[in-house]
Amino acid sequence: MIKVTNLKKSFNSIEALKGISFDIKQGEFYGLLGPNGAGKTTTINIMSTILEQDEGTVTINGFDLKLNTKDCKKTIGVVPQEIALYDELSAYSNLMFWGSLYNISKADLKLRINETLKLFGLFDRRNDKVKTYSGGMKRRVNIASALLHNPKVIFMDEPTVGIDPQSRNLIFEVIEKLHNDGMTIIYTTHYMQEAERFCDRIGIIDKGEIIAQGTLDELKTTLKMNETIVVSYNTISDEIFTKISAQWKDLKRTENAIHFYSSNIKNDLSKVIIMCSDLGLDILNIDIQKVNLESIFLNLTGKQLRD
Amino acid sequence: MLKLTIKDLKLFFADKRALLLTFAIPIALITLFALAYGSMGGGKESNQTKITIADEDKTNESKSVIQQIDLLKGFRVVQTTTDSAELLVKKGDEAAILIFHKGFGDSLNAGCKPPIEFKYDAAKDAEVAILLGALEGNLIGMIGTKSMEKNAIKQFDTENPTMDSITRKTIHDQISKNFSSDESKKQTESFIKKTPLIAEEENSPNLIQAVAGTAIMMLLFSVTGMGASLLDEKQEGTLKKLMYSPLHANSILFGKMISTNIVSVFQLMVMFVFAQLAFGLEITKHIPSLLLMIMATSYACSSLGVFIASFAKTRQQVQGMSTLIILVMSGIGGSMIPIFFMPIFMQKLAIISINYWSIQGFFDVFWRMLPITDITFLTRILVLVLIGTVLNIIALQMFKKNSLKIS
pLDDT in tens, A199-255: 999 999 988 999 889 998 888 777 777 788 999 998 888 899 999 999 988 888 888
Instruction: For residues B336 and B396, state if they share a domain.
Output: yes
Instruction: For residues B69 and B194, state if they share a domain.
Output: yes
Count residue pairs from A and B with Cβ separation < 8 A: 43
Chain A: closest CA distance from residue B315 (Å): 17
Task: Please provide residue B304's backbone torsions phi and psi, each rounded to the nearest 5 degrees.
Answer: -65, -40
pLDDT on residue B179: 64
Instruction: For residues B77 and B134, state if they share a domain.
Output: yes
| A180 or B61, which is more confident | A180
- Report the SS3 class of residue B11: helix
Sign of CA dihedral B198, B202, B207, B213: negative
| Among candidate residues B173, B198, B223, the one where a domain is terminated | B198
- Cα(A73)–Cα(B40) distance, integer angstroms: 60
| Among candidate residues B157, B181, B198, the one where a domain is terminated | B198
CA distances for B78 relative to A217, A221, B45, B81, B90, angstroms:
95, 97, 14, 10, 17
pLDDT on residue B41: 46
Instruction: For residues B376 and B254, state if they share a domain.
Output: yes
Whether residue A74 lies within 8 A of chain B, CB to CB, comes out as yes
Domain limits at B180?
Answer: 49-198
Put simply, the answer to whether A83 touches B406 (Cβ < 8 Å) is no
- Cα(B88)–Cα(B81) distance, integer angstroms: 11
Put simply, the answer to whether B407 touches A98 (Cβ < 8 Å) is no
Residue B304 in any domain: the answer is: yes
Q: At what angle do helices B375-402 and B287-311 cross, to 10 degrees?
A: 20
Residues linked to residue B97 through DSSP beta bridges, in sequence order = B52, B119
Domains in chain B, number = 2
Instruction: For residues B239 and B292, state if they share a domain.
Output: yes
Whether residue A48 lies within 8 A of chain B, CB to CB, comes out as yes
User: Which residue among B240, B247, B406 places its CB closest to the CB of A101?
Assistant: B247
Range in A222-231, A258-267, B186-195 with the lowest mean pLDDT: B186-195
For residue B45, pLDDT beyond 70? no
Whether residue A51 lies within 8 A of chain B, CB to CB, comes out as yes
User: Among A196, A189, A154, which residue's Cα sits nearest to residue A174?
Assistant: A154
Residues of B with CB below 8 A from A48's CB? 244
Put simply, the answer to whether B406 touches A51 (Cβ < 8 Å) is yes
Instruction: For residues B210 and B355, state if they share a domain.
Output: yes
User: What ipTM goes with this model?
Assistant: 0.82
Instruction: For residues B356 and B255, state if they share a domain.
Output: yes
Residues of B with CB below 8 A from A98's CB? 241, 245
Instruction: For residues B289 and B249, state if they share a domain.
Output: yes
Task: Quote the mean pLDDT of chain A.
Answer: 89
Instruction: For residues B221 and B236, state if they share a domain.
Output: yes
Residues of B with CB below 8 A from A151's CB? none
Residue B185 in any domain: the answer is: yes
CB atoms closer than 10 angstroms to residue A138: 21
Put simply, the answer to whether B245 touches A48 (Cβ < 8 Å) is no
- Report the SS3 class of residue B68: helix
For residue A79, pLDDT beyond 90? yes
What is the pLDDT confidence band of residue A99, given thresholds at 50, 70 and 90?
very high
DSSP assignment of B173-231 equals HHHHHHHHSHHHHHHSPP--EEEEEE--SSS-HHHHHHHHHHHHHHHHHHHHHHHHHHH
- Cα(B381)–Cα(B387) distance, integer angstroms: 10
- Cα(B83)–Cα(B274) distance, integer angstroms: 38
For residue B292, pLDDT beyond 70? yes
pLDDT in tens, B314-352: 777 888 888 888 888 888 888 888 877 777 778 888 899
What is the pLDDT confidence band of residue B70, given thresholds at 50, 70 and 90?
confident
Put simply, the answer to whether A82 touches B236 (Cβ < 8 Å) is yes
Chain A: closest CA distance from residue B377 (Å): 40
Instruction: For residues B183 and B228, state if they share a domain.
Output: no
- Cα(A137)–Cα(A164) distance, integer angstroms: 9
pLDDT on residue A115: 94
Residues of B with CB below 8 A from A82's CB? 236-237, 240
Residue B298 in any domain: the answer is: yes
SS3 assignment for A78-141 = EECCCCCCCCCCEHHHHHHHHHHCCCCCHHHHHHHHHHHHHHCCCHHHCCCEHHHCCHHHHHHH
Whether residue A116 lies within 8 A of chain B, CB to CB, comes out as no
Q: Do B309 and B318 contact (CB within 8 A), yes or no?
A: yes
Q: Do B391 and B306 contact (CB within 8 A), yes or no?
A: yes
A 200-239 residues with CB < 8 A to B = none
B332 exposed, middle or buried (CB, 10 Å; 0-12, 13-18, 19+)? Answer: buried
pLDDT on residue A160: 86
pLDDT on residue B147: 65
pLDDT on residue A306: 58
What is the pLDDT confidence band of residue B40, given thresholds at 50, 70 and 90?
very low
Chain B: closest CA distance from residue A36 (Å): 14
Instruction: For residues B365 and B266, state if they share a domain.
Output: yes
- Cα(A40)–Cα(B367) distance, integer angstroms: 64
For residue B38, pLDDT beyond 50? yes
**CA angle in degrees (0–180, nearest 5) for B288-B292-B295:** 140
Whether residue A158 lies within 8 A of chain B, CB to CB, comes out as no
Q: Do B120 and B94 contact (CB within 8 A), yes or no?
A: no
| Among candidate residues B198, B223, B252, the one where a domain is terminated | B198
**CA angle in degrees (0–180, nearest 5) for B220-B224-B229:** 155
For residue A100, pLDDT beyond 50? yes
Q: What's the predicted TM-score (pTM) here?
A: 0.72
Q: What is the CATH number of the domain that holds B107?
A: 3.40.1710
- Cα(A216)–Cα(A29) distance, integer angstroms: 13
For residue A307, pLDDT beyond 80? no
B 220-249 residues with CB < 8 A to A = 236-238, 240-247
Residue B43 in any domain: the answer is: no
Whether residue B405 lies within 8 A of chain A, CB to CB, comes out as no
Four-CA torsion A71, A72, A73, A78, nearest 10 degrees: 160
A73 exposed, middle or buried (CB, 10 Å; 0-12, 13-18, 19+)? Answer: buried
Put simply, the answer to whether B407 touches A11 (Cβ < 8 Å) is yes
Among all residues of chain A, which has the CA nearest to that of B238?
A: A84
Sign of CA dihedral A70, A76, A80, A83: positive
Instruction: For residues B111 and B247, state if they share a domain.
Output: no
Put simply, the answer to whether A50 touches B240 (Cβ < 8 Å) is yes
Residues linked to residue B49 through DSSP beta bridges, in sequence order = B75
pLDDT on residue B187: 45
